[in-house]
Structure 1
Amino acid sequence: MKKTIISTLIGTSLVLSSGAAFAKDPVKVAVLMYGMKAEFVQLMEQAAYDHPMVKSGDVKITMYDGRYDALVQNNQAETAIRTDHDAIIINPMDFDANIDVVDMANEAGIPVIVTNARLNTDKMTAEVVSDDVEGGYLEGKFIMEKIGCKGNVVILEGPKGGSGEIQRGQGNEKAIGECPEGAVKVLERKTANWSRAEGMNLMENWLMKHQGKIDGIIGQNDEMALGTIEAIEGSGGTVDDYAIAGIDGITDALYAVKNDKMASILQDANGQMQGSIDVALRHVIGTEYKPSSTIWNQYAGQLDWNNGLSKRYDIPWTIVNKQNVEGLLKTRK
């Protein structure tokens, strides 16, 4: 069993508040990201380092790049356990394969928080996520409304086997299913692995294969949706001929919304990561820990701290529009 350092600290050497100063070594939190190339993941990384307890030095973050490989993430979890980390936060690559991380952490007596993506288990300490079925529905609903629930669409999916691809796809199908039967046809659906370049390549092929027949484009993330815009414009076309939507609210997508090129459903990277750190610290430090992130005030009435004991925390989505896009752009560094 992992040695417990916290029981001797509570009430004696810690002042457990947002301005707490640890009398002994910082709490060590391992953050296992599935990969570090996409802007959204980089926003999550920055949010981790911006957490008040991390900035104060009371918490030390070790950031792991999973290199888009579930086995790499499982091996990194072993490393985190072996190097005496107090908690593990995982943004998993694979819905099933990364369950091993939860099992290993549980065996070692280490709290494990699942963030952003989902795992096919309920054995984690907690998960801090956004409802991907809802996110997929919101973008799908935008496309259906834009094309009047009639026509042909293509769907660019996330990596196969990941919870994002599975659950956003369910939301996409729900939105399409609300249209009259047979009125909307899915011409193509294929993974572009969250990649703008792969999204562009897919769309270039589809534009040639289905000339003049595509009405709506559902990108299960913004990167892929932005890739389709590059393909359309690169072929001499105009995005005005298509309804395009993505998910995440990355910076380029915000500018694309501002310029009427697409819709985006913002997923709060800061909320997911800082919420995960607060929940992890609650399970490491104990009942005296009070959340340090501002997200609990930001989403007051929508997100209940519940003394850090909820099994699941759902960070709300934000539909990006002309009214809020400028404010969102100002938050980007």
Structure 2
Amino acid sequence: MPDKMGGTEMKKQLYGIAVGFSLAMGFGTSAVAAEDPLKIGFAPPVYDTLDYFGQFAVAFQEEMESQGVAIEFIARASTAEANVQQQLDIVDDLITLDMDYIIVGPIDYFGIVPALQAANEAGVPVIVVNHLDVHPEDAGVDVLAYSGYSHAEGGEVTAKWALENVLAVGDKVGLMFAEPGNQISEQRVGTARDLWSDAGIEIGFEHYAYWEQARAFDATERLILANPEVKAVYAGNSSMAMGVANALKGMGEDGVEVFGFGAVPPELDMIWEGLIRGSIFRDSQSSGRYIADAIARHSKGEEIEKQYPLDMVMVASRDDVLTKVPEGALRLMENWPEIEKELQK
């Protein structure tokens, strides 16, 4: 993440970020001290306390502790969010480490299938997060539970909100995807593109920034200079949206609206400051609590749900930040002192 997020970088150190390596933690109470801890492996695409998966992990561990379930939690993330092969290797490593459960946040919904199959063969229950849809039967995988939402629905919500509040027929937009062929990116950004095209919005450019803030930042000036009539840029995740917004700020360009997807605390800060117009918020802390409870109950032989859905909301103003985002996420924002005062009014 660029140095422009200096305050965020300092906060990351306070919260103990673990990216690209393992993190092992044990929780429990005396009531379960005699029992072996559950070994939980977590394979997200990125691992950072301020992002979706980091907040999931924090809430997951807190819920396990509150239920008095002793765990050994090992989180390993790819060094690059688009590195599917590395994520496959990480899941294989977790299987070798004899995990009791493996939680995966797939970089690619279908690309992760070989790893899920390997876990099935090893008899390790697997949970998929950041996705709600059950894998089709012909994928040949048995997933214990899913927690997430529809990425396409999020793209639709973004597109319709922008049509109602920002865009008009004939306006041009720019689009930031992940890597070519990435299903999540196509669902989020491609869905919006199709809706906008049908509504008479022109596509000024499409660019692949591989989910990365730095790539989005580096490309924005060139893309905007080549497409000066672009009125808005929609980036398919928080990191890319922040990269676009920071680049526009550096250019002194305040006539281009930026839309993101994720509304993680640093992105919420930029919405609060007026640098990003809006973003889809999903409560990953709730997802962490859902999955912790599911594993705790499953480990006792109880039946659990197959799907744990999350609500999605568009956050596009200070009032939205105050009324739509849980306080746990707000407290991670740089603007929390000001927000706290607003909440107390």
- Give the TM-score, by structure 2 length: 0.75
Q: 1:119 to 1:217 in 2, by over 3 A?
A: farther
Deviation at 1:168, TM superposition (A): 0.9
Alignment of 1:86 with 2:100, yes or no, is yes
1:134 aligns with 153
- Whichever residue aligns with residue 271 of structure 1, its letter is S
SS at match of 1:51: helix
The answer on whether the counterparts of 2:220 and 2:247 sit within 8 Å (CA) in structure 1 is yes
Tell me how far apart the structure 1 counterparts of residues 196 and 74 of structure 2 sit (CA, whole Å): 42
Alignment of 1:59 with 2:55, yes or no, is no
2:192 aligns with 172
Alignment of 1:156 with 2:151, yes or no, is no
Structure (1/2) with the larger helix percentage: 2
Deviations 1:39-98 (A, max 9, x none): 333323323332234784522211112223222222222222222211110011123321
Tell me how far apart the structure 1 counterparts of residues 78 and 224 of structure 2 sit (CA, whole Å): 33
Deviations 1:279-318 (A, max 9, x none): 333333321xxxxxxxxxxxxxxxxxxx5232x3221112
- Match of residue 51, structure 2, among 9, 17, 39: 39
Q: 1:53 to 1:19 in 2, by over 3 A?
A: farther
- Counterparts of 1:1-333 in structure 2, within 5 Å, are 21=32, 23-36=34-47, 39-53=51-65, 56=68, 58-68=70-80, 69-117=83-131, 121=136, 123=141, 124-145=143-164, 146-177=166-197, 179=199, 183-211=200-228, 213-238=229-254, 241-261=255-275, 262-287=277-302, 308-310=304-306, 312-320=307-315, 321-326=317-322, 328=325, 330-331=327-328, 332-333=331-332
Deviation at 1:104, TM superposition (A): 1.0
Deviation at 1:22, TM superposition (A): 6.1
> RMSD value over aligned CA atoms?
2.7
Tell me how far apart the structure 1 counterparts of residues 181 and 60 of structure 2 sit (CA, whole Å): 26
The answer on whether the counterparts of 1:158 and 1:193 sit within 8 Å (CA) in structure 2 is yes
Tell me how far apart the structure 2 counterparts of residues 53 and 121 of structure 1 sit (CA, whole Å): 34
The answer on whether the counterparts of 1:215 and 1:243 sit within 8 Å (CA) in structure 2 is yes
> Which structure 2 residue ranges, 5 or more long, are not aligned?
1-28, 333-345
Give % identity.
20
The answer on whether the counterparts of 1:132 and 1:171 sit within 8 Å (CA) in structure 2 is no
Deviation at 1:29, TM superposition (A): 1.1
Higher relative contact order (CA 8 A, sep 6+): 1
Tell me how far apart the structure 1 counterparts of residues 58 and 180 of structure 2 sit (CA, whole Å): 27
Deviation at 1:226, TM superposition (A): 1.8
> Which structure 1 residue ranges, 5 or more long, are not aligned?
1-17, 288-306
Structure 1 stretch displaced more, 53-62 or 255-264? 53-62
Q: 1:162 to 1:273 in 2, by over 3 A?
A: farther
Tell me how far apart the structure 1 counterparts of residues 87 and 31 of structure 2 sit (CA, whole Å): 31
- Give the TM-score, by structure 1 length: 0.78
